[in-house]
Structure 1
């Protein structure tokens, strides 16, 4: 790693482990003086703070320093086909507050995004935090997204969203960077960061109203040339032949294995099932028809995943989304087909399991997306340079000093209290 600035030191410390200046010097090869000069702006900004309680080795104890996740906030939104969740997190991705509302993505971008900004405003007010504490906003949407611009690209279930400038709309209320990605990509980020940090080749599969996946290969989230990598819900499967999908094509996996399709099948059997949650409730109650329908959906999904296993060779497939809450029945169907059809070498060490992050995977991933952008080493270096330059000019430009002091105050929280929570 480049050890050239404060941002690189912060990158090291963001793993949450307290370290002494000597530790940092040993890791980077920098001298103690260089370490201290790079730490100074991080300490002034509140991004790094001393941690008490270092073990005594006799004599004066060495001061330990750690990343302060309470130095700012990230706003994280997880928008699905029929719901939206807005959350505020600290800079480690820990959810501080969240609100979920049933909301149809088909109602259009303005109503959905206005709900997000209105909810975020209310959350800040309830927490008594200023909007300036937010470093960035991350948003997950249930369709292909051009990641560089944050604009949805021909999303099949999002009428009115194609090419809509999501960041610009949110920035009318919150003037901070806004990062937008496919919702399942963010679930993959959240699951990997919080539960599977050592998994470099994994697929996160969301099974809910829609079906999609986030693909991590070689430790990197794969978005593809146009942002549609992982859009597996519209791959054709054999049992879907002749069945019309809401995207306008036939034989799509989603048309027979998504929550609406399973619920419709159960209604045909005389059961009350409208949503994915209704299906899960029936499965958990032991209803045989619901169990069989979910198991068959797993087999259909396994047919699609068999192709992915051969193409990508993951070591882990994580299943999330509302239908994953039905327990082992969905996953058993997936395993049945994947293990039967894939080559033994591809499945020898393949683990197919349920998400451990659960419903919060999306907002955690959105938070990670926002924080990784805001605290990228080169951006932290730029902020530190501005802070130090203003300090050198304090006798000539009091207005600039006041501006930087306000920036520092915005990034700071009650450092001792936050670190007590982070390192009890």
Structure 2
């Protein structure tokens, strides 16, 4: 048996991605299957710089072992979709020749309006097939879906309610086409993915059937949601490993907590958890993060690793930065206690941060900073200085006030320099910290109304 983890390098691996990865790991461990890491990077406009390396690094941090990937290739590569365009071209031509898809010249604006009207009328939001029999030779390519009968599978639905999905546009495949082709050619036998893909399952089954492929066994696992049952938010819930590490949650805890979500009981490692794992026993309802349980597991894991303080610091800031950080601290220290004070940016605690002004200008500056930080492609001192200079001029702030507002981000005014901290802990952690401070400011302001 062969399974796959297929993240897109469009952002961080958040808890939802990692939960899906752990489920695949447990399945592959229990049934002695191969686990493949495939990078779905065809969406070049949304791909983030260094995101692929971050994916490898984050999986390594929580000790997820991959059998095949670009870094450890097997017989079925390449493992990046951007390197497989020639493969997709062959199969989209084959699908056209077999009559499984058609060219469409309808604008997305027309289709979106059509779908909104359908929803208002109580009908499924599907394309109306206007171009189905026009025999166009160019345009985007849509899946040809039967208008009668029922798709039989885990998700039974009338074919008339299934959308004629776009499979090819701008000389590239969409996710729905590329992942089906890759799963087949990489010999993927079992696909374990989030329940949000359940409605897409009929389309993927249909593509497989048109091309004469063996349909993989699909399992749709629960989603990790916030308390309102919506997907994880981009500001707070959608946090990656670095963000949790910056809040004092160690990597061993993240793995152990995710395992507990899958198997239902606290289990220290993958090997022991696999004996309790049964794909058919996974919860049907979505999963909510239990902060208290996360902290209790963290307490257990801390006891096991706290003997090596240097390793804890290295995990928080990165092993490559450790010597440089210590050098910066020693340079500003006279006694040992000074080093501890200067390391406050490592042991950052958002619960204890205190805002100085509690004013609208403070909230506005941090909100604007968050927007600019997220847009920044190259995280460098010069680019950060340019952003800060632009915003101080825009808001009419002096340098002293600006630095005071930013102090909570690095923990204390006793820390090493602002820009050293920014470069050491990185863009994702700074964004998380600003998000948490804004959330605290927002709730504090509302309490005072």
| TM-score above 0.5, yes or no | no
Relative to the length of structure 1, the TM-score reads 0.31
* Structure exhibiting the larger radius of gyration computed from Cα positions: 2
